[in-house]
Amino acid sequence: MNTSPKITETEFWNSSRDIVHFVGICGAGKSTLSNRLAARIATHGGKVIGTVDYDPHTPDTDRAAERAFSRDLDRRNIAAGCTDPAVHQEIVDHTLATLTRWMDSDANVVLVDRWYESYDLLPADHIKYIEAAISSSGFRVHHVLLLVEGKPLGNEDWVIRDRLLHTKGTRPAEWWSGGPGDLEVFVKEEQAYQEEYGAFLARSPFNSMWVRTTEMEWERYEQDIVQGLIYERWKRACSAAREPDQVALEKSILTGLTQSA
């Protein structure tokens, strides 16, 4: 059985049907890496569509229809204390409508910056419903958590503070004024979100990878993500190529271990 990863990157992108979902706090690099990956895929002839959440060069009102994450629904959800079933259903409907639009496209890759993980306290049943629809969509989903953290792990508040201040310098003044008035409050909020995003990935049924973006070495992170996606494809090929007798042997061993436990 030959399972060596011989596929070229051009072949990989042109045979893909994938959603790459970037998850992370403000300034973690979601838009940056989404744009870099989009350019890379296009260079190899792949068809890509993107739903970058924040674009300082385009007014929000011009991008509301294409965005995977609805800021209007997010505001309404928060205003209702995250307990209004009608708003929750609208979030599900919006998410499924976006998914349908992607399914109707001929895109090899969909790049998503913020998605259903960004709605506060969305009920677990609604999340499972969304994920069941994604599972049956024909797309393979890859969550990519972009972490901003220091060393030792868990001591990331100063790193997040520096990243927020750096991001402030790259965005219009209204972006900063729309956040908490106090920097330390902003830092604590982003720390909490980062932890929640990690828990989201742990619960998710889809593949995920974690990329630490503390040094902002975007070319390296881009390469790490691409290699990770190709490796996932290779693992699936290995699994599909296993000999039937080997699968049967593994099942018999597992059954024996279960019965003897």
Provide the whole-model pTM: 0.84
Residue 235's pLDDT is what?
84
* Predicted pLDDT of residue 44: 96
Range of the domain at 55: 9-260
Q: Please indicate, yes or no, if residue 239 is contained in any of the structural domains.
A: yes
Tell me which residue of 94, 78, 85 sits closest to 125, measured CA to CA.
85
The answer to whether residue 4 is domain-embedded is: no
Task: Tell me how far apart the alpha carbons of residues 227 and 39 are, in angstroms, rounded to a whole number.
Answer: 16
Q: In the chain, how many domains are there?
A: 1
Instruction: Give the span between the Cα atoms of 68 and 117, in whole angstroms.
Output: 11
The answer as to whether 41 is a domain residue is yes
User: Is residue 121 in some structural domain?
Assistant: yes
Question: Which pLDDT score, from 0 to 100, does residue 134 have?
Answer: 97
Is 192 part of a structural domain of the chain? yes
Q: Is residue 91 part of a domain?
A: yes
Is residue 19 assigned to a domain? yes
Per-residue model confidence (pLDDT) at position 253: 46
pLDDT value, residue 153:
54
Tokens of 47: 């068809």
* pLDDT tens series, the chain, 261 aa: 344 456 789 999 999 999 999 999 999 999 899 999 999 999 999 999 987 665 555 555 555 566 799 989 999 999 999 999 999 999 999 999 999 999 999 999 999 988 999 999 999 999 999 999 999 999 999 999 999 987 655 567 889 999 999 988 888 777 777 677 788 999 999 999 999 999 999 999 999 999 999 999 999 999 999 999 999 988 888 777 765 555 555 455 445 544 444
Q: pLDDT at position 209, please?
A: 96
Query: Is position 3 within any domain?
Result: no
Task: Return the HEC string of 113-169.
Answer: ECCHHHCCCCCHHHHHHHHHHHHCCCCEEEEEEEECCCCCCCCCHHHHHHHHHHHHC
pLDDT the model gives residue 172: 77
The CATH number of whichever domain residue 89 belongs to comes to: 3.40.50.300
pLDDT at position 112: 94
